[in-house]
């Protein structure tokens, strides 16, 4: 396995690193994240000009990347600066359209990649917890299109989105994989309403309510009843993105804590010279490398067979959830009382890491999922699908 980045990927990483360091300091981030819209449209366009959004999509869809490594590079650097712009929404909604959309539907990817528009992905529901296949929102076929009814919860940047990718059930039981269908839904659709609110770690979310929302026949994204595979693949990209973002946030947290231990003095000496604290930082460094390895493994498996891909993604999300919570707690404790203050960036990194654990499945969910995927049924030759996919 080759872990070397390409020249283009190194250039992207260097460009993003310089940009966020110069233009996305903590004060700017807080101003943007707490603004009425939850992000800065001018900054979103600048990210588009830099190619940060385009790196998330393949060349055939208007981008210049789209691999697992590209996604990991972008989100790792976003995590280091706690960037608030709607990258996750753009990635998941855009990837669903890229995977299942027709030529007319894919036209919307160009302004998205340029940073001119925002797309949102509306899948989670109040009662769905983390189960991908649990969809209670219904879509009923009419003589000239579709009628949607249901509620979607915590739609990231839903108020700012010009359009949505929405999952709905067209057949089957409420938790069946078969019978889920995806739709491209414009913001001004009759019967669609939004209730926005600020998120605890910055940015904004919204509750999306569909009451007899009417859509034309061409709103169908992909094949009728066969949307689960697209849904799983698109949200898998989101899991990788969140894992890489957590890695970046952990790197920043670790660096800030190390710097504090080197400069904070007690009894006339830096507290970093105390052996007990050195041991705690050594343990944190080991945990951080475990996270890095898990993210690299997930990025390399993104284009691989389904079972191997999903196990690697769940392993990464479990690892960042476990380590992120522990590292945040350690960093705050090692800073002492100042670690809890609003003015110190550390507390905001800690908050973001805790919230990442709860997005797209927490550590308990992904540990159970990893185990379940390892019990995949055997293939015709007696070899389990998980084993065959790992070869």
Among 358, 329, 376, residue whose Cα is nearest residue 201: 358
For the record, the structure tokens of 157 come out as 């940047």
Class of domain 229-390: mainly alpha
Contact 195, 159 (CB under 8 A): no
119-to-214, 215, 354 alpha-carbon distances in Å:
19, 17, 25
Measured CA to CA, the distance from residue 271 to residue 281 in angstroms comes to: 12
Burial of 60 (0-12, 13-18, 19+ CB in 10 A): exposed
Return the domain boundaries, the chain.
Answer: 7-117, 120-225, 229-390
Q: How many CA atoms lie within 13 A of 77 on its CB side?
A: 25
- Residue position matching structure tokens 């080759």: 2
Q: How many CA atoms lie within 13 A of 100 on its CB side?
A: 27
pLDDT of 120 > 60? The answer is yes
Average pLDDT, rounded, for the chain:
93
Measured CA to CA, the distance from residue 84 to residue 118 in angstroms comes to: 13
Q: pLDDT at position 273, please?
A: 82
pLDDT of 384 > 90? The answer is no
CA angle 82, 87, 90 (to 5 degrees): 165
Q: pLDDT at position 3, please?
A: 66
Is there a common fold for 7-117 and 229-390?
A: no
For 193-226, what is each residue's pLDDT tens digit? 999 999 999 899 999 999 999 999 999 999 999 9
Measured CA to CA, the distance from residue 375 to residue 307 in angstroms comes to: 10
DSSP structure string for 150-208? EEE---TTTTT-SEEEEEEE-SS-TT-STTEEEEEEETT-TTEEEEEEE-TTSSEEEEE
Task: Report pTM.
Answer: 0.93
- Residue position matching structure tokens 């089957």: 172
Q: pLDDT at position 390, please?
A: 40
Q: pLDDT at position 115, please?
A: 96
Q: pLDDT at position 119, please?
A: 98
DSSP helix/strand/coil, 131: coil
CATH of 7-117, picked from 3.50.50.60, 3.30.2270.10, 1.10.540.10, 3.30.360.10, is 1.10.540.10
How does residue 324 score in pLDDT terms, banded at 50, 70 and 90?
A: very high
CA angle 100, 103, 104 (to 5 degrees): 105
Residues 6+ apart with CB under 8 A from 359: 242
The correct answer on CATH 3.10.580.10 for the domain covering 120-225 is no
Quote the DSSP letter at residue 55.
G
Whats the size of the chain, residue-wise? Answer: 391
pLDDT of 185 > 70? The answer is yes
For 94-109, what is each residue's pLDDT tens digit? 999 999 999 999 999 9
Helix extents (H) in the chain? 7-23, 26-33, 41-50, 68-81, 87-100, 103-106, 109-113, 228-263, 275-301, 306-335, 345-358, 363-373, 385-390
211-to-138, 144, 147, 187, 192 alpha-carbon distances in Å:
10, 17, 8, 14, 7
Residues 6+ apart with CB under 8 A from 145: 214, 215, 216, 217, 219
For 83-92, what is each residue's pLDDT tens digit? 999 999 999 9
Measured CA to CA, the distance from residue 364 to residue 362 in angstroms comes to: 6
């Amino acid at each position: 396995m080759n872990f070397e980045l390409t020249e283009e990927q190194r250039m992207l990483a260097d460009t993003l690193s310089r940009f966020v360091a110069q233009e996305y300091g903590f004060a700017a981030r807080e101003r943007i994240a707490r603004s009425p819209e939850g992000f800065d449209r001018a900054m979103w366009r600048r990210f588009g000009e830099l190619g940060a959004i385009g790196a998330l999509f393949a060349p055939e869809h208007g981008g210049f990347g789209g691999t697992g490594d590209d996604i990991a590079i972008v989100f790792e650097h976003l995590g280091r600066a706690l960037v608030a712009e709607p990258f996750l929404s753009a990635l998941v909604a855009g990837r669903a359209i890229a995977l299942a959309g027709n030529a007319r539907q894919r036209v919307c990817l160009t302004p998205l990649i340029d940073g001119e528009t925002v797309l949102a992905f509306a899948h989670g529901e109040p009662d769905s917890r983390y189960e991908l296949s649990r969809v209670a929102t219904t879509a009923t076929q009419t003589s000239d299109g579709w009628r949607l009814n249901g509620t979607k919860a915590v739609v990231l940047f839903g108020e700012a989105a010009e359009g949505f990718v929405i999952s709905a059930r067209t057949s089957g039981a409420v938790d069946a994989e078969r019978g889920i269908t995806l739709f491209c839904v414009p913001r001004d659709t009759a019967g669609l309403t939004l209730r926005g609110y600020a998120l605890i770690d910055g940015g904004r979310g919204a509750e999306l309510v569909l009451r007899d929302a009417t859509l034309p026949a061409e709103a169908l994204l992909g094949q009728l009843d066969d949307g689960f595979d697209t849904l799983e693949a698109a949200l898998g990209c989101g899991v990788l993105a969140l894992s890489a973002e957590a890695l970046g946030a952990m790197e920043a947290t670790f660096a800030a804590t190390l710097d504090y231990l080197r400069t904070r003095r007690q009894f006339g000496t830096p507290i970093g010279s105390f052996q007990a604290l050195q041991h705690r930082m050594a343990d944190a460094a080991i945990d951080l490398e475990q996270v890095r390895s898990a993210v690299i493994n997930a990025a390399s498996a993104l284009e691989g067979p389904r079972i191997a891909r999903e196990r690697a993604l769940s392993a990464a999300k479990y690892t960042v959830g476990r380590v992120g919570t522990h590292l945040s707690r350690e960093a705050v404790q090692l800073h002492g009382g100042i670690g809890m203050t609003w003015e110190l960036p550390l507390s905001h990194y800690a908050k973001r890491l805790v919230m990442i654990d709860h997005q797209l499945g927490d550590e308990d969910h992904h540990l159970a999922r990893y185990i379940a995927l390892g019990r995949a049924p055997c293939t015709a030759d007696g070899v389990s699908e998980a084993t065959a996919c790992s070869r």
